Amino acid sequence: MPALLELDHVGLSYHTLAGEIPALSQISFSIQEGEFVSLVGPSGCGKSTVLNLIAGLLTPEQGQITLQGLPREHSVLSIGYMLQKDHLFEWLTIYENVLLGLEIQKKKSKKAVAHVDRLLQEYGLWNFRSSHPSQLSGGMRQRIVLAIALAGNPEILFADEPTTALDVTIQAQILDLLREIQKKLGTATVFVTHDLGVVARI
């Protein structure tokens, strides 16, 4: 069976007015279904670029990316994305943010809404659905983002430094939740961090 995703000697430079910025060169690795993988390296080494390439937001200049054996452009693999900054809108309620999040991802089906409702209940957030993001803690906000990312039952979850802005106790809670999701739902997870201390706690 082909790997869930495979990078084969992938390279990319950013072409800016100030010149060419080499971001990645000769990157090869693969991830199997249901695996939990950490991508660790200092800031600026190209971690987010790797995720954006896999997600199809960028196109590699060298090498190949295949998802379940298919080239990126032919793949129907669904990816959930969780970022360091939560991008919740302060003037919307939590629930309005959730619905908008689904709409932006073009995943607002009855099934997806029901799934997010269940996740919000499971994560202890349902009673806060009429609150605004500023009324919630950083950890709660990240759990909402996670629920939105999982709405469409993605095969892969990308978590790009989701705990960097949080204190250590909350970091541990989010990490536990990510591990639980991977075990319970079988979602392959790519966890990105520049913090080796976080990796030691996984």
Smallest distance, ligand ADP to C-beta of residue 120, A: 29
CB atoms within 10 A of CB 58: 17
Q: How far apart are CA 159 and CA 79, in angstroms?
A: 11
Q: Taking a C-beta distance cutoff of 8 angstroms, is the pair 145, 177 a contact?
A: no
Under rule CB under 6 A, residue 47 binds ligand ADP: yes
Residue 46's binding partner out of Mg ion, ligand ADP, none, with CB under 5 to 8 Å set by partner kind: ligand ADP
Under rule CB under 6 A, residue 23 binds ligand ADP: yes
β partners of residue 37: 190
The kind and range of the H/E element at 29 are strand 19-31
The count of residues in the chain is 202
Smallest distance, Mg ion to C-beta of residue 188, A: 19
Contacts (Cβ under 8 Å, ≥6 apart) of 40: 192, 193, 194, 196, 199
**Residues 42 to 61 in contact with Mg ion, rule: CB under 5 A:** 48
Under rule CB under 6 A, residue 45 binds ligand ADP: yes
**Interface segment toward ligand ADP; rule CB under 6 A; list 16-24, 86-94, 97-105, 135-143:** 16-24
Q: How many residues bind ligand ADP (CB under 6 A)?
A: 12
Under rule CB under 6 A, residue 48 binds ligand ADP: yes
Q: How far apart are CA 2 and CA 66, in angstroms?
A: 9
Residue 14's binding partner out of Mg ion, ligand ADP, none, with CB under 5 to 8 Å set by partner kind: ligand ADP
Instruction: At 199, list the tokens.
Output: 């990796």
**Residues 85 to 124 in contact with ligand ADP, rule: CB under 6 A:** none
Which residues bind to ligand ADP, rule: CB under 6 A?
Answer: 14, 16, 21, 23, 41, 43-49
